Amino acid sequence: MPELPEVEVVRLFLDNHLIGKTISNLEILNKKSFTGDPKKIINQKITKTSRIGKQLSIHLKNNLILLFHLKMTGQIIYSPLFSRGMPAGQGVSTFGHPTPKEDKSTLPNKSTRLVFTFSNGSKLFFNDQRKFGWVKLFTSNELDDSQKNLGLDILSSKFTSKYFYQQIQNTTRPIKVVLLDQSKFAGIGNIYANDALFLSKINPQTPSNKISFKKALLLHHFLIQIMTESIKAGGSTAKDNKYIHPDGSSGQHQFNFQVYQRAGEPCLVCQTPIKRITLAGRGTFYCPKCQK
DNA sequence: CTTCTTGTTACTGA
DNA sequence: ATCAGTAACAAGAA
């Protein structure tokens, strides 16, 4: 569920708080959440962060890279120093001993899968209720190889209207489905695909190659605009998404949703009830009157 | 109890 | 080879 804007908000936070810090420990609470040899990151300094689409990279001094994908329910939460409450990360495993009423503000919690500890005592928690997300340790070449099928990032300067138009011209699939295809452009998920199509007044079922050049220009424009605005708003914390800012706060862009998760509610332009259909197995929201 | 949800990949069939 | 559709993954909400 976290899409480009949410991942970028997380990246900006980590860039501000983790650069120069040294990893002193990694605790793996769910084996499938981490791939690689955890020993290779110990005593390594964090040098920079980067992002393509929904994938976040943390680069280490030894040139290895930690690649994060939050998938649907992943969270990255940073806590400076735990001076009060339960000491973070020291937690006795609750496996087999579920706490009935766990304090949500206490970390690690039920959905904590990984805990990174830094040499100054601060910690980074990777939470993921549904365990679809992951962190993988890669060499530079392995990272390039794993991302070779990713299209251009929506906020890349190379993501031009010309590139966009070319990419949507070579398929007949519904435009909504094409927008979600990470091999064409990286970073769009269900929220922004639905809302960008609404702003562009394009029906999500329109065959991609039937989109006029003029409409393609509009869609390209709104995709960039909506992503940029959401980043400024701290991303979207929706009803069923687990996204939160690394400091624990919520995003604000969900208050700007145009059609996403608004089935049955009036269109913000013409008051017609927003319709919900399924495209490629995904919930799709649109105004039947505004989006032709 | 069943059904639905979501991002991505693996698989299946055209 | 290429394209499109769908099951699978996991956990929880309805």
What is the tens place of the pLDDT at every residue in A172-225? 889 999 999 988 989 998 899 999 999 999 999 999 999 999 999 999 999 999
Which burial class, exposed, middle or buried, applies to A223 when counting CB atoms under 10 A from its CB (0-12, 13-18, 19+)? buried
Cα(A186)–Cα(A104) distance, integer angstroms = 32
Cα(A274)–Cα(A264) distance, integer angstroms = 5
In residues, how long is chain A? 292
Rg (CA), chain A: 20
Cα(A71)–Cα(A191) distance, integer angstroms = 14
User: Which domains are present in chain A?
Assistant: 4-146 (3.20.190.10), 152-286 (1.10.8.50)
- Residue A275: both structure tokens together: 């319709």
Give me the catalytic one of A11, A51, A54, A176: A54
Which nucleotides of strand C lie under 7 Å from a protein CB? 3-12
Is A3 one of the catalytic residues? yes
% of chain A residues with pLDDT over 90? 63
Is A2 one of the catalytic residues? yes
Over the stretch A52-92, which tens digit does the pLDDT of each residue have? 999 999 999 999 999 999 998 999 999 886 544 444 443 33
What is residue A176's DSSP assignment? H
Contacts of A256 (CB under 8 A, 6+ apart): A229, A230, A233
Judge whether A81 and A127 are in contact, CB under 8 Å. Answer: no
- Residue A41: both structure tokens together: 């990151």
Which nucleotide's C1' sits nearest to the alpha carbon of A72? B6
Model pLDDT, residue A78: 94
Model pLDDT, residue A82: 52
User: Is A133 within 7 A of strand B by CB distance?
Assistant: no
Residue A98 has pLDDT above 60, yes or no: no
Residue A94 has pLDDT above 90, yes or no: no
Best CA proximity match to A175, nearest among A280, A257, A267: A280
Residue A247, beta-bridge partner list: none
Among A20-34, A102-116, A147-161, the least confident range = A102-116
H helix runs in chain A, sequence order: 4-18, 140-146, 161-169, 175-179, 190-199, 213-232
Q: How far is the CA of A36 from the C1' of B1 (A)?
A: 40
Over the stretch A216-247, which tens digit does the pLDDT of each residue have? 999 999 999 999 999 999 999 887 678 899 99
Which nucleotides of strand B lie under 7 Å from a protein CB? 5-9
Over the stretch A2-54, which tens digit does the pLDDT of each residue have? 899 999 999 999 999 999 999 999 999 998 899 999 999 999 999 999 999 99
- Residue A12: both structure tokens together: 């900006």
Model pLDDT, residue A156: 93
A226-233 long-range CB contacts below 8 Å, 24 or more apart? A226/A192, A226/A195, A226/A196, A226/A199, A227/A4, A227/A5, A227/A154, A227/A155, A227/A187, A227/A192, A228/A155, A229/A253, A229/A256, A230/A5, A230/A6, A230/A192, A230/A256, A231/A5, A231/A8, A231/A9, A231/A12
CA separation (Å) from A288 to A88, A277, A284? 50, 11, 12
pTM: 0.91
Model pLDDT, residue A105: 62
Judge whether A114 and A35 are in contact, CB under 8 Å. Answer: no
Decide the pairing of beta strands A23-28 and A112-118. Answer: antiparallel
